[in-house]
Amino acid sequence: MLTPWVFGFTGEATAAWNAWIVGALMALVAIGALVAFAEWEEWANGVLGVWAIISPWILGFSGITAAMASHVVISLIVAVLAAVELWTTHNRPVSTA
C-alpha cells in the first residue's frame, strides 16, 4: 500500500490506485486473520497477490519499472505465504504424542 510513495510512482494513477486498493484490502484481510483465523482469509490474500502480480500487464503499467517490480515482488511474497499457510493447514503431521 505504501509502495507508490516509497518507489515514487504516485504520478502514475493506474499503478498507484491499484497498489493503494490492493494493499489496503490485503491489510484488512490480514487484520481479520489476526482476530479470528479462517481459511478464506488465506485464499483472499492469495487471490489478491495473484491479481497484483498480473495487474501491471492487464492494466497497462508494465513499462513503469518501479510500479511493475514492486507489484510483482511484494505480491509474490504475499501469494507464496498464503499458499504455504493453506498447505500447512491441510498437511499438518499427525501427532504421535
pLDDT per residue over 44-71, tens digit each? Answer: 989 999 999 999 999 999 899 999 999 9
Instruction: Please report the pLDDT score of residue 85 as a whole number.
Output: 86
DSSP state letters, the chain: --HHHHTT-TTSHHHHHHHHHHHHHHHHHHHHHHHS--HHHHHHHHHHHHHHHHHHHHTT-TT-HHHHHHHHHHHHHHHHHHHHHHHHHH-PPPP--
Indicate the residue type of 96: T
Is 75:52 a contact under the CB 8 Å cutoff? yes
pTM score? 0.80
pLDDT at 97 over 70: no
Measured distance CA(14)–CA(55) in Å, rounded: 10
What is the pLDDT, as a whole number, of residue 96? 65
